[in-house]
Amino acid sequence: MPELRKDPIIGRWVIIATERARRPDEFALPVEGPPEGECPFCEGSEKLTPPEIFAVRLTSAERNLPGWQVRVIPSIKPFLRIEGDLERRGKGIYDLMSSIGAHEVIIETPNHIGNMADLSSEQIAKVVATYIGRIKDLERDERFKYVLVFKNYGWAAGGGRLKHSRSQLIATPANPKRVKEELVGARKYFDYHERCIFCDLIKQELEQKERLILDLDGFVAISPFAARFPFEVWILPKEHSCDFARLKPELYIHLGEMMKIILSKLKKDLSDPPYNYVIHTAPFRRPKLGYWKTIEFDYHWHIEIMPRLTRVAGFEWGTGFYICPIQPERAAQFLRGVEE
């Protein structure tokens, strides 16, 4: 049974997912996935996956049969298990938790397409709608504090052996450290200024323009001022909202369009690089957790896209001190397509 363990010094939770690999020689090198005809994520191969949790279907087709547009299945190698009680216990100075959670795979297209950049904006909008539907459903489970939506594209970005475009979500019984740090930072700024730091950041980027990549239909894409990775991109909604799951349905298509444009720029300009993205949104507001009263005002959901062009070394791991080999202003200029 996997466990959630807490580092006693800095309080970071780690999932000890023992069922993924057992011996040192099982830490795999890249493996070729099955060819198109045998891909379990393609339409027509529904029987090769666990039964679906949810699917977007335009017709009244039955579950686990062809006719879907986006399909959600449980991970076959889950980091966390959905069954069981949330038990938190000590072991001397250590803390651990049973590894309760959900781990789902969102298959983004019925066709054998690898990069989300090659889906249509409309299709990406359906993926966005699916993310939101799943988050709302998982919010009902009182054991969970957070749902993380993320994508690993390409081997160097942690992608698996199957090529078929997909993303993942994980519902966790603890708030991720990185998200907590953002919540704390955003609240500190709000306490002093009584304004959302992300709203101020968007305003400054729209005025200065040097790190702005795209401003389109309610969303902005920027190179963050203190980017960790070359060509890192953040997509933010211009209208203040702490909660991705409350995005107005009429904006799904605009977010789809923004993601399509940005991911296509990365694909084209950087020779189809591996990348990750993560959606940062506010945690579930459970009254008993006494959550930050101001979270509605001080936090702002956004998407962080991280091309994986550089290797991350001991320095970064050991220190939290990143080295980015390109100026964010140059990266933005390059991605805007006005390279000198």
Shortest distance in whole angstroms from residue 145 CB to its own copies: 12
Q: Toward its own copies, which CB reaches closer, 92 or 287?
A: 92
Minimal distance in Å, beta carbon 94 to its own copies? 5
Please report, as a single letter, which amino acid is at residue 169. L
Q: What's the min distance (Å) between Cβ of 300 and its own copies?
A: 9
Count residues contacting its own copies (CB under 8 A)?
A: 89
| Closest alpha carbon to 125 in 38, 16, 251, 21 | 251
- Report the nearest approach of its own copies to the CB of residue 338 (Å): 15
Q: Is 313 in the site for its own copies (CB under 8 A)?
A: yes
Find the binder of its own copies among 90, 287, 290, 325 (CB under 8 A): 325
Work out the burial of residue 14: count CB atoms within 10 Å of its CB; fewer than 13 is exposed, 13-18 middle, 19 or more buried: exposed
The pairing of strands 94-98 and 88-91 is antiparallel
Query: And the tokens for 259?
Result: 């993601």
Cβ proximity of 232 and 211 under 8 Å: no
Our CB check for its own copies shows the closer of 56 and 156 to be 156
Q: ∠ CA 74-72-131 to the nearest 5 degrees?
A: 115
Q: Contacting its own copies (CB under 8 A), which of 264, 278, 295, 336?
A: 278
- Report the alpha-carbon distance of residue 43 to residue 48 in Å, rounded: 11
Q: Which CB atom, from 67 or from 150, has the smaller least distance to its own copies?
A: 150
Q: Does 295 sit near its own copies (CB under 8 A)?
A: no
3-state secondary structure of 258: helix
Minimum gap (Å) between residue 189 Cβ and its own copies: 8
Is 75:104 a contact under the CB 8 Å cutoff?
Answer: yes
Which 200-259 positions form the footprint of its own copies (CB under 8 A)?
Answer: 200-201, 204, 208, 224-228, 230-231
Min dist CB 240 to its own copies, Å, is 15
Determine how many CB atoms are found less than 10 A away from the CB of residue 134.
Answer: 21
Q: Which is nearer to its own copies, 224 or 237 (CB)?
A: 224
SS3 for 57?
Answer: strand
Beta-carbon count within 10 A of 133 CB:
15
Q: Which of 12, 209, 246, 286 binds its own copies (CB under 8 A)?
A: 12
Query: How far are the Cα atoms of 85, 301, 325 from residue 231, in angstroms, in the given order?
Result: 42, 20, 10
Q: Which of 13, 54, 291, 297 touches its own copies (CB under 8 A)?
A: 13
Which residue among 32, 58, 321, 338 contacts its own copies (CB under 8 A)? 321
Examine residue 318 and tell whether it contacts its own copies (CB under 8 A): yes
Min dist CB 314 to its own copies, Å, is 3
Closer CB to its own copies, residue 260 or residue 302?
302
Query: How near is the Cβ of 176 to its own copies at its closest, in Å?
Result: 4
Q: Contact 233/262 with Cβ under 8 angstroms?
A: yes
* Dist CA 201 CA 337 (whole Å): 23
User: What amino acid occupies position 80?
Assistant: L
Q: Which of 339, 312, 335 is nearest to 324 (CA)?
A: 312
C-alpha 201/C-alpha 191 separation (Å) is: 16
Q: Which of residues 73-132 bind its own copies (CB under 8 A)?
A: 79, 92-94
Q: Looking at 54, 155, 291, 297, which residue binds its own copies (CB under 8 A)?
A: 155
Which residues between 34 and 73 bind its own copies (CB under 8 A)? none
**Is 192 a binder of its own copies (CB under 8 A)?**
no
The least distance separating its own copies from the CB of residue 43, rounded to whole angstroms, comes to 26
Position 297 contacts its own copies (CB under 8 A): no
* Helix (H/G/I), strand (E/B), else coil: 75: coil
